[in-house]
Amino acid sequence: MFHLFRSRKQAFRIMLGVIVAPVILTMVITLIPGIGATSGGDSDTVLAEVNGDPITLRQTQTEFQDYVEQRKVPAGAYGFLAPKIVQDLIAERAMLVEAERFGLGVTEAELADLLRTSMPFLFQGGGFIGKDQYAAFIQERFRKTIPQFEALIRKDLAINTKLRKLVTDGVVVRPEEVDREFRRRNEKVRIEYAAVSNASVLASVSSSQAEIAEYFQKNRPSYSLPERRSLHYMVIDDSRVAPKVQVTAQELERYYNQNRERYRVQDRARLTHILLKTAEKKDDDNKKVEAKAQDLLSQVRAGKDFAELAKTNSEDSVSAAKGGEIGWVTRGQTVPEFEQKAFSMKAGEISDLVKTQYGYHILKMLERETARMKTFAEVEPDIRKELSRERTEQERARLADRARAAAGKYAPKLEEAAREVGLEALSARLIERGAPLPDAGADPALMDALFSAAKNSVIGPVHAGPRSVIAVVTEIAPARQAELADVAGKVQSDCNNAKARLAAEARAKEAVDKAKAAGGDLKKAAREFRIETKSSEPITREGSIPNVGPASSLAAAFTAPVGAVLGPVAAGDGQVIYKVLEHIEPDQSQSADEKKIIRDQMLGNRQNEAFEIYKEELTERLKKQGKIKIYQERVDRFVKNSRS
């Protein structure tokens, strides 16, 4: 929460994020598909047209690349992502056509009102801060010009505010639906239960060779051998070259003198605080907040533990978890009212109420440091460590380059190359991707290099953390379907486990039948099968039971009558049988606030569903009208190329 009352520059970023967030949340892509891409021309392949407006290959590639980079999409998902990008670009253009048809454009006044409301710090003293500052920030933060950025906002307003409102205004949630959902979420049940674990019967299970072979044949597709590779390699670790690195006292002092500004300490304060929010609340509510804040201040001054009060009362959730501690702040980092008070306090002092645009704060000063230059003696250990690390990395890189050159002469065998540079030649036989190499680990960059290289080619140096690796792949065993002999041990284990699951289920079912025959006496039936029974705490549908798992697996307990014996159901490591002991109705005394949250969630979900259905139907309608044209062969080619 503390980031919300950082300086204007930080708040500016946050508020712009609030404006742009709906674009990211409701669309798979941003609302400006061509930003940053070369505009479509005769040489740019058109993948689709919406009302005559082209969606080009370059625009689509730009969206694809941006999405991959922002979301860190793994390469294996590219084939699924690529067609989705095209579909969403088409749907977005279709919604813009619809917004224009309904006259839902965004006026200059509406854009200005949005900026003024969402980013009041743009209008200091009643006046605009200036186009140059505005443009500089937009360029720095979003790499866009003002027209490009404002086009993004306009399209977001047209689609996700105006058109969405038009489509979803009729969506309602009835009070009885909210009541049902409140009850569903909050009703509790208490059960008596017993678990028959698979492990408890596994020891008595065995599988014949015929059963193992049959199991393998039935489940053959699930058994495969991944690609494996053999290699020779050399490893250069920092610990090998570090002893050779020397840093003299003169070099340390020279570095300090050349970089003195790095060691200038700003005026700073380490603070803890309690925040009660007033933002977006009515005046009457704000008076109640102020009264509560004043009461907390009185408790602090009376000697109550500040950290405990912060944990239980502060609405800055991040700092509250740490007893209200914010950490070190410097001048210019917080909003003016907060800064003015903070830097007028002494260590140990507690402030009066501090009012900012976010609410009421109670500050406690923990430490103060005045601006000064750190002495050479203070920073000498850090400088030594930094210079030593830099020189160690440089020395490792030089040795790695020599090792690479030597490997080029002697590959695919590296014994001679290793002797030439004073290293050890290591070998690994048919390893899988991700398997750690002795002395080298399993760094993803190293694995990528090893499993993308051609046979007998020299790889590296790959710098992975504190080590560098040079390698040669000497053998490649392609991925293939496994034969029984390759995975006999695993198949036998899987076969035994499958039989154990069936045996546990049969044992549990027999215990249920015994309990029902005994008038619902689960304890008695469990004793016959030497199964321990336990009683749960009252749990909701979202709760869980130790060693059993989520209550959702025992959902029948919430509708079955008290005394009913149920199961078996697969839960935890085996089968669970249970008896309903008690139903506990929700506490209605505190329901008003939660019901409002539930209503808002249900309404939001229904509006999202309605808008998604509308979007799909709109796209289909425009296709039938001939206003959407898709050049499928070109799209298929884009998808195919995206996979690589």
What is the tens place of the pLDDT at every residue in 528-557? 999 999 999 999 999 999 888 899 999 999
Q: How many CB atoms lie within 10 A of CB 453?
A: 18
Structure tokens, 235: 């490893």
pLDDT band at 136 (very low <50, low <70, confident <90, very high): confident
For 188-198+488-584, the fitting CATH number among 3.10.450, 3.10.50, 1.10.720, 1.10.3470 is 3.10.50
What's residue 2's pLDDT? Answer: 35
Q: Locate tokens 């909210």: which residue?
A: 178
pLDDT at 360 over 90: yes
Q: What single DSSP character describes residue 334?
A: B
How much of the chain exceeds pLDDT 90, in percent?
A: 64
Q: How many CB atoms lie within 10 A of CB 360?
A: 23
Structure tokens, 115: 């900026």
Q: What angle do CA 27, 31, 37 make, to 5 degrees?
A: 120
| Distance (Å, whole) CA 381 – CA 378 | 7
The whole-number average pLDDT for the span 6-30 is 35
How much of the chain exceeds pLDDT 70, in percent?
A: 92
Length of the chain: 644
Structure tokens, 106: 């965004």
Q: What angle do CA 553, 560, 547 make, to 5 degrees?
A: 30
What's residue 483's pLDDT? Answer: 94
| Distance (Å, whole) CA 215 – CA 418 | 48
3-state secondary structure of 330: strand
- Kindly state the helix (H) or strand (E) to which residue 574 belongs, with its residue range: strand 574-584
Pairing state between β 188-197 and 467-477: unpaired
CB 642 within 8 A of CB 78: yes
Structure tokens, 133: 């500052």
Structure tokens, 585: 């109705």
pLDDT at 589 over 90: no
Q: Is 48 exposed, middle or buried (0-12, 13-18, 19+ CB in 10 A)?
A: buried
> Is the alpha carbon torsion for 23, 24, 28, 32 positive or negative?
positive
The whole-number average pLDDT for the span 351-374 is 90
CATH code for residues 8-170+607-643: 1.10.4030
What's residue 130's pLDDT? Answer: 79
Where are the chain's structural domains?
Answer: 8-170+607-643, 188-198+488-584, 228-247+387-481, 267-370
Determine the topology of domain 267-370 in CATH. Answer: Chitinase A; domain 3 (3.10.50)
pLDDT at 38 over 70: no
CB 476 within 8 A of CB 227: yes
pLDDT at 71 over 90: no
**Among 123-132, 323-332, 548-557, which range has the highest average pLDDT?**
548-557
pTM of the complete model beyond 0.85? no
pLDDT at 18 over 60: no
Structure tokens, 607: 């509006």
In the beta sheet, which residues pair with residue 327? 271
Structure tokens, 393: 């990395």
Q: Which residues touch 103 (CB under 8 Å, ≥6 apart)?
A: none
What's residue 125's pLDDT? Answer: 62
Peptide bond into 568 cis (omega under 30): yes
Three-state SS string over 89-149 comes to: HHHHHHHHHHHHHCCCCCCHHHHHHHHHHHCHHHCHHHCCCCHHHHHHHHHHHHCCCHHHH
Would 188-198+488-584 and 267-370 be classified into the same CATH topology?
A: yes
Q: Locate tokens 């019967």: which residue?
A: 201
Q: How many CB atoms lie within 10 A of CB 323?
A: 16
pLDDT at 523 over 70: yes
3-state secondary structure of 589: helix
Closest listed residue to residue 492, CA positions, set 214, 199, 225: 214
